[in-house]
Chains A and B, each alone.
Chain A
Amino acid sequence: MAAVSEWRVKLVGRPSKDVSCPSIVKTRVIDTGLCCRCMACMAACPAAVRTGVGFEFEEREHVCVDCEICVRVCPRLDYKPLSGVGSYIEAVAGRSKRFEGQDGAMVTEILISAMEMGMIDRCIFVGRDEEWRTEVFHVRDVEQLEVPTLTGTKYTFAAAVPALREAVLNTKAGVGFVGTPCMVSAVRRLQKALAVFRRVKLVVGLFCTENFYWEDLIPFLEEKGVDIKKLVKTDISKGKFIATMTDGVVEFPVKELSKIMPSGCRFCTDFSAVESDVSVGSVGSKPGFSTVLVRNENAKAVLDYIRERGYAEFGEVSLEAVERLCNLKKKREANIKEAMQKGD
């Protein structure tokens, strides 16, 4: 790219200079409950980088330098809800022979294989601490996966998108990312607004009906008799939340969780991560297998590599189950109209 000494940045066209960007996001996204905690706004915020302020918008208002990037990247401002299975060129069930994960560990297999192929040189994983708080890891070597908590699903939000800034600034080949559909959309917005984020070369989307706030989920589980210290796996399967501990299992209908479901998820219609390069989930395949929807050639190349090396076994998927959940989530469109009207 040619180096220049004069360049321009398009302004978003705010109603007035007196309306600060954080206040626009706050009134139209946070206060209306549309915010999905993707943290795209933090990933790009120069003031957050320089001062170390957190996600709180009141705090951010004090340090804001008026650059408007949060307004440009927030996927829930001028929200265009996506839904359905989306386009794909291949749908298979897979189980990794090398890794263990939530289902068939295909997410891990795909990211590590892409790293071996040289398509990417690092990827962002979401691990957890002993209290099940999510922690973000920059994985650059397969040996880092010896930390067993790196794979598997954590049903709480993670700051994986803000971690991308550091990753894209340091990468040579490219960055791999995995996240829920809202996080995938956030990455796409960032890529549209800022060229550096186009160094994210592989985006793996996870099927998702909802996610939870750690502050809400943990007390809820404790009330159900789950000892968090002994908890080793959480799963949602066939309408049940299953918490597996070292010395027992607690199960309850997932419907009970609806009272702690974050409002951002109520407005989310994307189950299959339509905007990903490849989507992975558990519904649609046998237990122990992950459903994999390959959406473009880039991701296809990774899957071909896995096949060629025999790193995974493959099976049939039933897309009806996936479609059913997509349709169920599409019904949430009604909630959005209501909120949008409130925000304007």
Chain B
Amino acid sequence: MGIKRLKMPEYKLGDKVRWHAAALGTAFKEAFFPLTVTVQYPRERRKFPDNFRGYILFDIEKCINCWQCAFVCPANAIRMKEAPNKKYYPTIDYAKCIFCHFCVDSCVGGALRATKIHDVAYADVDEMLAETEQLMEPPEILREDKRYVEYVIEEDDVRLRRVKGQDYLVAEPPPRREYPMVCVCEDPESCTGCGTCADVCEHYAISISIEGEYKVIRIDGEKCVGCGLCVKECPLHVLKLVRR
């Protein structure tokens, strides 16, 4: 393969002057009326939205032990660990977590919540496994700029204005749209009556009794919290969650 030499195009002097003037003009405009800005992180940082997907906090009071978070986690970062009260609670391995917050979104009891804490540093990989207790309190914040900067575009003259403010990293999450769910059987003809659902239900919402020649399965809508555990465990997938 031979080498092809590119020839320098020849410009007229008039064109050169015109282009240089245009470039200088743009530089001048950007210096005084900038169209883009650079946030000088970490000296300053932007304001994060209240539903920012950062460090996850856990409220043990609200956990119903449904394991939904561990099932839904696509990174397998959540492991359920037995507590002294014989119940299982989540631990999060931040070495695996991809901050998708599927766990937060799917938490039935609303026990998991998002914070804006994002600059978390660890000394080694083992430390990255956050035990349940650790998840219940926000981590110690050593250095965090309480102040943020925000650039807002003025309505009248379309100019960027720099606004400073105070940010709280553990903000009240925006109210969730709640869809109260309840479990029903959509295919009773495929039920074997194995009782797996009644077995796994933490709230004793499903009962099975023998009445004459039949096994009768009842779901108590009052007790069902809509966690979906039975739906997942039924070997023939006959149950489903519906909106109340």
Contacts of B137 in A (CB 8 A): none
| CB closest residue in chain B, given A195 | B189
How would residues 8 to 26 of chain B score, 1 for a CB under 8 Å from any chain A CB and 0 otherwise?
0000000000000000000
Contact A3 to B194, CB < 8 A, known contacts A9-B214, A10-B214, A196-B236: no
Residues 193 to 236 of chain B near chain A (Cβ within 8 Å):
193-196, 210-211, 213-219, 221, 233, 235-236
Given the known inter-chain contacts A5-B219, A6-B218, please indicate yes or no for A195 contacting B187, CB distance below 8 A.
yes
Q: Which residue of A5, A11, A65 has the most chain B CB atoms within 10 A of its CB atom?
A: A5
C-alpha gap A208/B27 in the complex (Å): 86
A45 to B: closest C-beta gap in Å: 8
Cα A186 to Cα B168 with chains together (Å): 64
Interface-facing stretch out of A46-54, A74-82, A152-160, A325-333: A46-54
| Contact between chains at A7 and B194 (CB < 8 Å) | no
Known: A5-B219, A10-B213. Contact between A194 and B184, CB under 8 A? no
Restricting to A212-258, which residues have a CB under 8 Å from any CB of B? none
What is the 8 Å Cβ interface bit string for chain A, positions 1-42, against chain B (1 contact, 0 not)? 101111111110100000000000000000000000000000
Nearest chain A CB to B155's CB is how many angstroms away?
51
Closest to B200 in A: A50
* Contact A1 to B187, CB < 8 A, known contacts A49-B235, A65-B195, A67-B194: yes
Q: A4-B184, A196-B190, A196-B236 are in contact. Are A46 and B196 (CB under 8 A)?
A: yes
Classify the secondary structure of A's interface with B.
mixed
Bound state CA distance, A10 and B215, in angstroms? 6
Check B185 against A5 for contact (C-beta < 8 Å).
Answer: yes
Instruction: Count chain A residues whose beta carbon lies closer than 8 angstroms to a beta carbon of B.
Output: 27
Q: How large is the interface on B (under 10, 10 to 19, 20 to 34, 35 or more residues)?
A: 20 to 34
Chain A residues, Cβ within 8 Å of B144:
none
B184 contacts A5, CB within 8 Å?
yes
Assembly CA distance A1 to B238 (angstroms): 11
Tell which of A5, A8, A67, A169 touches B192, judged by Cβ atoms closer than 8 Å. Answer: A67
| Contact (Cβ within 8 A) B235 A50 | yes
A1 surroundings in chain B (CB, below 8 A)? 186-187, 189
Residue pairs across A and B with Cβ atoms less than 8 A apart, 29 shown, are A1-B187, A3-B186, A3-B240, A5-B182, A5-B183, A5-B185, A5-B218, A5-B219, A8-B188, A8-B214, A8-B215, A8-B217, A9-B191, A9-B217, A11-B215, A13-B213, A44-B236, A46-B235, A46-B236, A65-B195, A66-B195, A165-B236, A169-B236, A194-B192, A195-B187, A195-B190, A196-B187, A196-B236, A196-B237
Which A residues contact B (CB, under 8 angstroms)?
1, 3-11, 13, 44, 46-47, 49-50, 65-69, 165, 169, 194-197
- B-side residues, CB < 8 A to A, are 182-196, 210-211, 213-219, 221, 233, 235-238, 240, 242
